Structure 1
Amino acid sequence: MNLTKYLAIHILREDLCYLAIVAKECSPLLVIEFLQRLHEVFGTYFGQSVTEASVRENFVIVYQLLDEMMDNGFPFTTEPNSLSEIIPPPNVFRAVVGGITGQSNMKADMNTGSMSMHPWRKAGVRHTTNEIYIDIIESIDSTVETNGMAAHTEVSGEVAVQCKLSGIPDLSLFFSNPHILDDVSFHPCVRYNRYEQSKVVSFIPPDGNFKLMNYRVKGQLQLPIYVKPQITFSTNGGRVNVMVGSKTTGGKVVEDIIITIPFPKFVTTATLSANYGTVQYDDITRIAKWTLSKIPKDKSPILEGNLSTTAAATMDSNPVVQAEFKIMQYASSGLKVDTLTLHNESYKPYKGVRFITKAGKLHFRS
């Protein structure tokens, strides 16, 4: 086989490698987007965490999904709502019946999405209670220098929707400050021309869970927490002092904080303690993890301790401390939702919007 005729494009997701072999010239972003959509569909079918074990356990469904999602080398059906009508998600009952009868779990009938004017939405959807929930999840990526100044800060956001609306609802999502959004990408249901003209996200949603849009926000953004690491080494060992606190968060509580310190290989032992939270140190990986349920208001959490090092210890740069956290009902970018309006239907649905801010790649140099 002449390998020079082919291109290999891959993505890495959760320790899994998705590889596509391309025989003809095409847009690499198209292939990457298809592989990403494949990973998201696997997450919908097998749970949020897609692992090698889950793929092996459901290899028959994996083959069926690939057969439906790709037709003669071209992306075909990639919407989870449409795929779930053709290939039901796995459960114990279907696995037992399939093992006994040997029959496939694929449905012979045409899915209702193919009979709809909107292929991402099933026809004739009915719900006893009409409701829609929107989660705006933002991740902060930043590198903070030893002087406390951020070398760069960027917010990556996604708008996740859980839709349980009857009929063919036509929705419009209005932001108070849409001008701050950069690099916006949308679900196919969004009318892109209208967003370009008026910055209104107008769409007829799929039924169930889906990702409405992704965006980035750049510029001068303030981090909701601060981490002040002081890690020094000498011929006799080392000293650790790390302080954590919250900045302006509009009164919202910073939760689920994890401070990770990867020590260099010449550190033999570490004796660490904290005045708040719990500290765990792994002698094999030489990684210390400081876990705090929240940042208290009456005192500043501090991690302190001593390090033992080998005699030949040399250090070109101090460890880079990593931080994780979560803040509910807080948008680090300052994005605000104005209204969510419903057209084309007479009922009044229950609507809920929730903001979640969490740490992405957040590094503090010591």
Structure 2
Amino acid sequence: MSGAIEAVYIYDEHNRPLLTHEYTSRNLTATQLLPLFLGYPTPRPNLIYLPNTSPPTLVFSLVHSNLLFLLTSSSEIEPLLALEFLHRIIDVLEEFVGSPLIAHKVETSYDVVAQLLNEMCDGGAVSTTEPNALRDLVEVEGWIGKFLGGINIPGRPGPSSASSNNHMSGISSAGISAANTPALPWRRANVRHTSNELYVDLVETLSVTVAPSGRPVAAFANGTIAFTSKISGVPDLLLNLSTPSGRQNINSVMELPIFHPCVRLARWREKPGELSFVPPDGRFVLAGYGVDLLPVQNGQVGSTKSSNLKLPVSVEVKTSLGSTGSDFEVRLFITKVSGQGNSSLSGSSQTSGRASGRGGFGAGLGNHAGTSSTPALEDLVVTVPLPADVRNLSEIRASRGDTTYNPGEKVLEWRIPAKEASAGGATLRCTVVGPLSDDDDFEANGFKLDGRYDYQEEAYQSAPVKTASPEKTDEQKDIRKVAQNKILMPSSTSVSFSVKGWLASGIKVESLVIDTRKSRGLGEGVKPYKGVKYLTVSRRGMEIRC
């Protein structure tokens, strides 16, 4: 596939065209393309084929912050390339224009947006998309320059001199731009920081499914290594990762790893667990990986109990309790987990529970952050979805925390604050109320649905007629109630939580070293501050089937 990107369109929240940037000729206008795109019923796919245009056109779409981004191509093009290019456009615009990305910012910074789109794609072929490299290619005027833009400063060339030396200035600016263009496309040239800092954030998101018997069916963790580099010059870094069983097993723990282009893949293949790279300036995603928490052992997948996963929370659900089977109980067990241990970050002080005001991963999750030695369990929420036939919950009893139930949403939430999330057990017991049955509606008014009435039909006859009507015993009524309430029981329960200072996979940062021989412009005696943070998150990712 050697297709080309022909044009990029941006529309505001009211589908009003904001910008059209063309890379090739003979493209559809923004007003022509929009009705063809909106003609497809929702939900619209990210790729739409328009066969009735001349020539037939592929339309790639993406919605971000209520802005609609469209990309067109009349030739066969790799879909992932086009969609990734739209994602890069959004990331770059947020970096230069500001986040959140709104229509007003795009309109007021049209000159910057046009330069960015022109540098990111050349003649339909994707070019420079790294924000750090674009900063050296795109001129962004600050507020002082905008304020002084209309003032004729002595020594500043006026319009006449600028027009007379247009050719020479173009050559000189091109030479300066080429000279300042960094050899590394992901890092800006001449980076300077007054305080040199390096931060590593390891974040894992859990996805666990537990069968009614308590046996885990599937357990995965998706990990992200976020890196923040605020260091002068061009540093060459070496990050060492390890597992509880040693660095030699890092390949068996980390599955399908992906890396930022700055990582030297040959070094990783030669020595798994070692990440050698020259970082971009600022915050970026260094690597991503997946972990199977239920590896295959002796030909069998998983373990017999969910407690063997060593998760900080385990849940048991019992349904159809009580004499009529209208109660269900959720038992929550909180277990203290061991931390990741201390990392050997040579050359500086280090911490794994630094203040969240830095704005990195895990910022805003509490005033007292957990450390690798004492992990902290926070944001513990148990969510119980209820069937549509449940009319209400007549009784809710929780031994810890607070409960929230809205009959319209059919969802029960049980929140346990961090100060009450200590090791031990907690119980939630509820009583469900089903829909009104026919017997409840009519028998209360003296009517029977089996053809009988409360009054005696033959009361006026001289000879009374004895009618024997078999009545149901209490045991039979209870059995019937249990069968009716069985369909009102929850079928699953999900758990959300976050743990600071702990990872489910056990991966940890062993060391972070600056190679002074390969680094340039760092300065003598510079020892940057280094910090590591671990965070495990479950956003309804732990599901227990009933």
Q: Identify the TM-score tier after normalising by the shorter chain.
A: 0.7 to 0.9
Residue 545 (structure 2) aligns with: 365
CA distance in 2, matches of 1:238, 1:18: 52
1:218 aligns with 2:284: no
Question: How much does 1:258 deviate?
Answer: 1.5
Structure-2 change in CA distance of 1:298 and 1:222 (3 Å): closer
Give 3-state SS (helix, strand or coil) of 1:152's partner: strand
Residue 502 (structure 2) aligns with: 330
Residue 243 (structure 1) aligns with: 331
1:228 aligns with 2:316: yes
What is the CA deviation profile of residues 225-283 of structure 1, one whole-angstrom value per residue up to 9, with x for unaligned ones? 11222344999783231122233511523211111222121111124232211111122
Q: Contact 2:331–2:426 at 8 Å: present in 1 too? A: yes
1:124 aligns with 2:190: yes
Residue correspondences, number:
350
Q: Contact 1:112–1:122 at 8 Å: present in 2 too? A: no
What is the CA deviation profile of residues 315-362 of structure 1, one whole-angstrom value per residue up to 9, with x for unaligned ones? 498432221111111111011211111022442211111111111532
1:140 aligns with 2:140: no
Question: Relative to structure 2, which stretch is displaced further, 271-280 or 163-172?
Answer: 271-280
Structure-2 change in CA distance of 1:114 and 1:74 (3 Å): farther
State the one-letter code of the partner of 2:269.
Answer: E
Give the one of 215, 218, 222 matched to 1:156: 222
1:80 aligns with 2:143: no
1:301 aligns with 2:426: yes
CA distance in 1, matches of 2:543, 2:105: 37
Question: How much does 1:56 deviate?
Answer: 3.9
Q: How does 1:5-154 map to 2 (within 5 A)?
A: 5-7=56-58, 20-38=71-89, 40-41=91-92, 46-47=98-99, 54-60=101-107, 64=114, 69-83=120-134, 86=138, 115-154=181-220
Query: TM-score under structure 1 normalisation?
Result: 0.80
Query: TM-score under structure 2 normalisation?
Result: 0.56
Structure-2 change in CA distance of 1:258 and 1:35 (3 Å): farther
Give 3-state SS (helix, strand or coil) of 1:280's partner: strand
> More strand per residue: 1 or 2?
1
1:262 aligns with 2:385: yes
CA distance in 1, matches of 2:58, 2:293: 37
Q: Contact 1:261–1:321 at 8 Å: present in 2 too? A: yes
Q: Contact 1:81–1:121 at 8 Å: present in 2 too? A: yes
Question: How much does 1:205 deviate?
Answer: 0.7
Structure-2 change in CA distance of 1:79 and 1:351 (3 Å): same
CA distance in 2, matches of 1:232, 1:209: 51
Structure-2 change in CA distance of 1:243 and 1:348 (3 Å): same
Identity of matched residues, %: 28
Residue 104 (structure 1) aligns with: none
Give 3-state SS (helix, strand or coil) of 1:300's partner: strand
Q: Contact 2:400–2:416 at 8 Å: present in 1 too? A: yes
Structure-2 change in CA distance of 1:146 and 1:205 (3 Å): same
1:278 aligns with 2:352: no
Q: Contact 1:238–1:307 at 8 Å: present in 2 too? A: yes
Cα RMSD, aligned residues only: 3.8
Residue 100 (structure 1) aligns with: none
Give 3-state SS (helix, strand or coil) of 1:148's partner: coil
